[in-house]
Structure 1
Amino acid sequence: METPFIFTLHEGLPRQGPGSNACTRKAFSMLADLSARPEILDIGCGAGMQTVELARICPGCHITAVDIHQPFLDDLARRAASAGVGDRITTVRASMDDLPSPDASFDVLWAEGSIFIVGFEKGLASWRRLLRPGGYLCLTESVWFTEDPSPEAAAFWNDCYPAITTVRETCAIAESAGYAVVATFPLPKSAWWENYYMPVLKRVEDLRPKVAGNPEAEAQIEFAERETAVYREHADEYGYEFFILQKKG
């Protein structure tokens, strides 16, 4: 079966979505009363920049890193071994909407830039069973930073992720799904540009001549360029918010 071009586009990149090690560290610092050896599930881990960083900052943890694309997991395994944390990271090829772990297996669920694939509400509902009582779900989600977005930004998000809403409304959804909102913070613009958009644009230029005449690939390239152009003009209107949630009950 041929690999979808969206995976090819993101292979070899430092991250498969906006983020940074600084943001990962900041979010993890907000978790209280973890066990000395917490079990962490990184959902939609991609090539695992954040996975390796979690292993660095939490030396007692074990991380199960899940992604559907095996080359991402292979990249993660190489990075983890190079960083000296490979013995505490287990990679699993699985879909995030059919995670194979038993109920109450984890102290922390981590999902940077991935929950949109299944949808925010569905992810909150279906992943909650995996958490032990009082466990944490830490994730990034697209949000509006304004109540009145520009027509161009609104049109872009209506096309790609119409479920986007404000931080306040996103918190309300999380509360209704059985989580307490511990904290939230916005990702800085550098988390979009330095580790994600700039590498993506470089990758686009490398791939463009190789995929000429491939409608799927050309459409993905066009979307990537549109996405970066909209963000360049409207970054004050929307972005990723890091949500640190704790399972209630």
Structure 2
Amino acid sequence: MEIPFVFTMHEGLPRQGPGSNACTRKAFSMLTNLPARPEILDIGCGSGMQTIELARTCPSCRITATDIHQPFLADLVRRAASAGLGDRITTVRASMDDLPFSDASFNVLWAEGSIFIVGFKEGLLSWRRLLRPGGYLCLTESVWFTEDPSPEAAAFWNDCYPAITTVAANRAIAEDAGYKVVATFPLPASAWWENYYVPVLKRIDDLRPKVTGNPEAKAQIEFAEREIAVYREHGNEYGYEFFILRKEE
């Protein structure tokens, strides 16, 4: 089966979406009453920048990291081994809408920049079974920071993720799904620019000469460039919000 170009475009990047180690640590610091050796599931881990940071931040944890794209998992395995963390990180190739784990297997679910693939509400509901009582779901999700977005920003999000809504609306969705909202905070602009868009632009420059005549690749590159252009002009209107949610017992 041919690999979708969107995966190829993100191979070799430090991250497959906006984020930062500082934000990962900040979110984890808000988790309380974890067991001595917490079990963590990183859903849609990509090449695992946050997976490695979680393992460093919580030296007693064990992490299972899942992604549908095997090259991302192979990259994570290499990174974990290089960091001396390979014995505490296990990778499993799996789709996030069909996770092959028993109920109540984990103390923490982690999903930076991935829940949009299945949908915010859908992910909260379908993943909840995996958490032990009192366990945490920590994730980042695209949100509006304004009630009146510009037409250009609104058009872009209507094309790529029409379900985007406000922080307040997502808090209500989480509560309805059986979670307590422990905290939320926005990711800084640097999590988008320095940690994601700058490497993406360099990757595009490297790939462009190699994909001449490939309409799928051309379309993906044009969409990525449109995304970056919209963020450059309207990034104050939207962004990622980190949600720290606790499963109600």
CA distance in 1, matches of 2:248, 2:177: 9
Q: Residue type of the partner of 2:18?
A: P
- 1:80: how far off? 0.5
Alignment of 1:31-180 (within 5 A): 31-180=31-180
CA shift for structure 1 position 213? 1.1
Amino acid of the structure 2 residue aligned with 1:235 = G
Question: For residues 77 and 18 of structure 1, what CA distance do their matches in structure 2 show?
Answer: 21
CA distance in 2, matches of 1:155, 1:38: 42
> Amino acid of the residue matched to residue 56 of structure 1?
R
DSSP 3-state at the match of 1:107:
strand
Give SS of 2:191's match.
helix
Q: In the alignment, residue 218 of structure 1 is paired with which amino acid?
A: K
Q: For 1:63 and 1:73, how far apart are their aligned partners in 2?
A: 13
CA distance in structure 1 between the partners assigned to 2:195 and 2:186 by the alignment: 16
Distance 1:177 1:214 in 2: 42
1:204 matched to which residue of 2? Answer: 204
Unaligned stretches of 5+ residues in structure 2:
none
User: Normalising by structure 1, what TM-score?
Assistant: 0.99
TM superposition score normalised by structure 2: 0.99
How many angstroms apart in 2 are the aligned matches of 1:69 and 1:42? Answer: 14
Q: How many residues align?
A: 249
Deviations 1:73-121 (A, max 9, x none): 0000000011111100000000000000000000000000000000111
The structural deviation recorded for 1:19 is 0.0
Matched residue, 2:189: 189
Q: CA deviation at 1:195?
A: 1.3
Deviation at 1:178, TM superposition (A): 0.5
How far the C-alpha of 1:129 sits from its partner, in A, is 0.1
CA distance in structure 1 between the aligned counterparts of 2:44 and 2:185, rounded to whole angstroms: 21
Look up the match of 2:20: 20
Please tell me the root mean square deviation across aligned C-alpha atoms, in Å: 0.4
Letter in 2 for 1:119: G
Query: Between the two proteins, what is the percent identity of the paired residues?
Result: 84
**Using the alignment, how far apart are the partners of 1:187 and 1:118 within structure 2?**
21
- The CA distance in 1 between the partners of 2:70 and 2:76, in whole Å, is 10
Ranges in structure 1 where 5+ consecutive residues have no aligned partner: none
SS class of match (1:96): coil
CA distance in 2, matches of 1:18, 1:74: 21
| Aligned residue number for residue 236 of structure 1 | 236
4+ residue runs over 2 A deviation: none
